Amino acid sequence: MSVNQRIKAYLEENKINVTDFAEKTGISRTTLSSITNNPSGTPLKRTMDMILAAYPDLGKNWLMPDEKDDSSSFSDESDNFSNSRALKFRIALKAKKKPVPMTNTKASAGTIALFNDEPELIVEFLDIPFIGIVDGAIEVVGESMVPTFKNGSRAAVRKLEDKTLINWGEIYYIVDTNYEGVVKRLYAGTDDTHIVLKSDNPDQETYPPFPRKWQHIVAVFKVKAEITKH
């Protein structure tokens, strides 16, 4: 996905109209039009600086993944990450950190591992413009979410900054305090202390709903799309 495509996806996902975006960033409507209508282009550095200053949540590392980031939050692995995209990234589950590109890609997408005693989720890099902004993809294992997700398919996920902002009945990837992750539909619990996780498999006797207390949930990712590998 090009830089222009990422900017356009950000506007669409966050329902930001071009007038508001132009006013907040200070860039001209002509420049903005060239960004949204030229999918293969990249804005000038000055334009990029204006956009990132107005919308810091975009994140330079996500917006321009081909550029090496000298931030100290990147580990030694990122020193070898220069002009080519990494196949996998590490997403911090507790701390608010930039994704760390991985040069050692043996670990499967969806693996949760400790790096410097901090839990991080390993995701696959995605370059699919139409699904919008995502952190990456994880592998869905098992039959509990059939027919929505087949065993071995991929789920494109985006981490929620506030894990309690759930749209009930939709599909999420939940990581608990045992650092185990599951893809389930979420529903409100009988009180504010917990939620209910439900499978899509019609065999609810084999895959029954179960509760999970909020205090036992480390991170929540919104599932944006299914990706089936052929």
The CATH homologous superfamily to which domain 3-63 belongs is: lambda repressor-like DNA-binding domains (1.10.260.40)
Q: What is the pLDDT of residue 73?
A: 29
Q: State the 10-residue block means of pLDDT for the chain, 230 residues long.
A: 77 82 81 75 76 74 51 31 53 80 64 82 76 84 92 90 93 91 94 95 95 94 80
Q: From residue 124, how far is each of 118, 119, 188, 206 by CA, in Å?
A: 19, 17, 30, 30
**ω into 209 cis (within 30 of 0):** no
Start-end ranges of CATH 2.10.109.10 in the chain? Answer: 137-227
Q: What is the pLDDT of residue 211?
A: 95
CA 38 to chain centre: 24
CATH of 137-227, one of 3.30.70.560, 2.10.109.10, 3.40.50.10800, 3.90.79.10: 2.10.109.10
Q: What is the pLDDT of residue 80?
A: 33
Start-end ranges of CATH 1.10.260.40 in the chain? Answer: 3-63
d(CA 94, CA 90): 12
d(CA 64, CA 38): 16
